[in-house]
């Protein structure tokens, strides 16, 4: 019974880390898509008012992109550490 409880708790932790990793990946994708679409040369060429907001848009989207990248990196690191710990426990 104790083994089942331990296995369930490990699966719960792993599923949480997988969810965090997926959310981080989605943030990276959204940040990258917004970054490339908002900073295209074509949009700034045909809309002169767009040039005034270019730096704000660049800063906002690069920040969301970097936050997503950091969040996903941390989640994947914790996920790999948890997997390593489970494998190590099975060897004992």
Q: How far apart are CA 10 and CA 3, in angstroms?
A: 11
Q: Each residue of 17-28: pLDDT tens digit? A: 777 777 777 776
Of 45 and 55, which is predicted with more confidence? Answer: 55
Q: What is the pLDDT of residue 57?
A: 58
Q: Each residue of 48-90: pLDDT tens digit? A: 555 555 555 556 666 666 776 777 777 777 777 777 777 777 7
Q: What is the pLDDT of residue 1?
A: 72
Q: What is the pLDDT of residue 60?
A: 63
**Domains in the chain: boundaries:** 58-92
DSSP assignments along 50-92, one per residue: HHHHHHHHHHHHHHHHHHHHHHHHHHHHHHHHHHHHHHHHHH-
């Amino acid at each position: 019974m104790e083994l089942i409880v331990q296995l369930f708790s490990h699966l719960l932790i792993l599923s949480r880390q997988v969810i965090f990793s997926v959310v981080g990946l989605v943030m990276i994708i959204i940040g990258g898509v917004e970054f490339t679409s908002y900073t295209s040369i074509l949009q700034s060429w045909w809309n002169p008012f767009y040039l005034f907001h270019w730096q704000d848009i660049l800063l906002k989207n690069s920040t969301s992109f970097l936050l997503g990248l950091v969040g996903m990196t941390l989640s994947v690191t914790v996920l790999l550490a948890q997997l390593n710990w489970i494998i190590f426990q099975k060897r004992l």
